[in-house]
Structure 1
Amino acid sequence: MDPSPRAQRPTALVLSLGGTIAMAAQETGHGGVAPRLAAEDLVAAVPEIAEVAVLELRDFRKVPGAWLEIDDIAAVAKLLNEQAAAGTTGFVITQGTDTLEEVAYLLDLLYEGAAPVVVTGAMRNAQMAGADGPANLLAAVRTAVSTQARDMGVLVAFADELHAARHVQKTHSTSPSAFSSPGAGPIGHLVEGQPRFHFALGRSPHVALPLDRRASVEVLEATLGSEGAFLQAAKSLEGLVVAAFGAGHVPQTWAPQLGDLASRIPVVLTSRTGAGSVLTGTYDFGPGSETDLLGRGLINGGHMGPRKARLLLLALLRSGADQAAIQAAFAAHR
């Protein structure tokens, strides 16, 4: 019997993109898992969800997280914007954890609605002891229909923690508690099955759809003694993100090449450390210091990590933003 009248329960759209949460052993092969389960299968494993919301289920993709593309996520964002305008209470997206932090952040840039969007997945597939997908899915649905989660942008639900898309990172390759928010901490937790928020964040400025222009943006990481051989290849790009040492430093031999690139394409300076901000004028030891690089025209990425800075720059370029708009966007997102 239906546990509560349908009319009294909120509506939520569950989009399945694949990933570990949807993986099971293949009928042929060497025993490894691959995406096989549909959204209906995921929800059927958690009967309690029926008490929380009336669900619409869609299998949007059925691929590993590593296979997702920018155009896939732009299509998801377009659908979310349309459904939010039509009155859907909340949204849950299940996907692979390899790219979960990047998908959540890109959606946060592109999604314009107030209805909560919660991204989740699993570190243990459904055939493993202690599979975490069902609990994460239930937590995500409960958060997606929570009035407290409205207008908070895109959230990530994992291991009973709630993280803001702009801060969340995958920080372990296999742990069920793989996600954290360095420098910020979780925005909330699930307590006795209900989301409780510790603080709220203002929404980040949006990037307008469609992303119909083509652009190539890559990340180049500074390493000890690197000769910067890939800087030559960067000349073919439309944008570059530098994952610099510490507070925004690179080998001195990189500085002139980066300055030359910055005169032709947007080059964003970020830190490879995982937390903290690029500085603006503390170090001035000459070529390769943050003072020198910013003086050569690089854009200060602030506290943004290199992967998310790449997504912001790529989305801006693909939406048609010019250099002034890109500069303003990074200043606003810092």
Structure 2
Amino acid sequence: AMALELFHTGKKPVVITGAQRSFDHLESDGPQNLADAISYAANGAPGVSIRFGGLTIPARGAFKAHTSALEAFQATSQKIRTRPTLPLTPLAGQDIVIISAWPGAPRLLVDAAVASGVNGIIVEGLGSGNMGSEMGEGVKDALDAGIPVLITTRVPEGSVTLAYGGDGGGATLAQAGALGTGTLRAGQARMVLLAALATGTDVASLL
């Protein structure tokens, strides 16, 4: 959904749906989700959205909020602003990894990603976009090596502000060149970086 949102320029709705229960389940949600998606595609607002469990969720900011509930998806609140229109471009060939931070996390995974030749790194940080000092040092070295790093959070709601100092603090890493993802979580941040690299677009303009 996020990939479509980044490239969609038409004035018609594009709707993504699916199911939480299998097609042969006695109370499968697939048929109703599909019917709802068709109805919204015929009558809904332009843009890309997810239609699931009776809810219409905008693609930008969407995340899966529950493993099994029929109302599976939610979206973080988004500020409306103009973003560049991207030319249709294949996204294959870019290697973007997602690395989770935890209290006391070492730099091992960041160093391994750099050594493997990744094109970009998404760090799923703590709180408003922070990590331990050792991992932060690894991120700074990755930035020095020319690898773009976006910092998001594992917290479901709220914006990544990169406000704290210290070696693993978001503000320190922002000064080194890392970018906060605002209200986009890891999966969508990865799609943004993929699209930016594939099209030669400044990633900050897509966040």
TM-score by structure 1 length?
0.57
Amino acid at match of 1:113: G
Q: Which residue of 1 aligns with 2:99?
A: 220
Give, in angstroms, the shift of residue 174 of structure 1. Answer: 1.8
Provide Cα deviations, 1:241-288, integer angstroms capped at 9, x if missing partner. 11110011111112222112112111111112122111143x22x211
CA contact (8 A) 1:217 1:310 kept: yes
Distance 1:140 1:213, change over 3 A: closer
CA contact (8 A) 1:213 1:319 kept: no
Distance in 2, matches of 1:213 and 1:159, equals: 31
Higher RCO (C-alpha 8 Å, min separation 6): 2
Alignment of 1:47-196 (within 5 A): 104-146=1-43, 148-149=44-45, 151=46, 153-183=47-77
Distance in 1, matches of 2:23 and 2:91, equals: 37
Distance 1:206 1:288, change over 3 A: same
> Which of residues 85, 105, 114 in structure 2 aligns to 1:206?
85
TM-score by structure 2 length?
0.90
Distance in 2, matches of 1:260 and 1:228, equals: 10
Partner SS for 1:145: helix
- Tell whether 2:203 aligns with 1:326: yes
Distance in 1, matches of 2:42 and 2:12, equals: 8
Q: Which residue of 2 aligns with 1:58?
A: none
Distance in 2, matches of 1:256 and 1:226, equals: 11
> Which of residues 119, 124, 127 in structure 2 aligns to 1:246?
127
Partner SS for 1:107: helix
Larger Rg: 1
CA contact (8 A) 1:244 1:269 kept: yes
Give, in angstroms, the shift of residue 214 of structure 1. Answer: 2.2
Q: Which residue of 2 aligns with 1:95?
A: none
Distance in 2, matches of 1:272 and 1:294, equals: 18
Partner SS for 1:130: coil
Distance in 2, matches of 1:114 and 1:202, equals: 17
- Tell whether 2:177 aligns with 1:265: no
Distance in 2, matches of 1:256 and 1:158, equals: 41
Distance 1:204 1:139, change over 3 A: farther
Distance in 1, matches of 2:73 and 2:203, equals: 29
Give, in angstroms, the shift of residue 204 of structure 1. Answer: 4.9
CA contact (8 A) 1:270 1:304 kept: yes
Give, in angstroms, the shift of residue 109 of structure 1. Answer: 0.7
Give, in angstroms, the shift of residue 203 of structure 1. Answer: 6.8
Partner SS for 2:133: coil
Partner SS for 1:157: strand
Give, in angstroms, the shift of residue 220 of structure 1. Answer: 0.7
CA contact (8 A) 2:98 2:190 kept: yes
Unpaired segments ≥5 residues, structure 1: 1-103, 185-199
Give, in angstroms, the shift of residue 201 of structure 1. Answer: 5.8
State the 4+ residue runs in structure 1 displaced beyond 6 angstroms: none
Q: Which residue of 2 aligns with 1:3?
A: none
Provide Cα deviations, 1:134-180, integer angstroms capped at 9, x if missing partner. 1111111111011x41x3x1011111110000122112222222122
Q: Which residue of 2 aligns with 1:310?
A: 190
- Tell whether 2:160 aligns with 1:278: yes
> Which of residues 230, 233, 236 in structure 1 aligns to 2:112?
233
Unpaired segments ≥5 residues, structure 2: none
Percent of residue pairs identical: 29
Partner SS for 1:137: helix
Partner SS for 1:109: helix
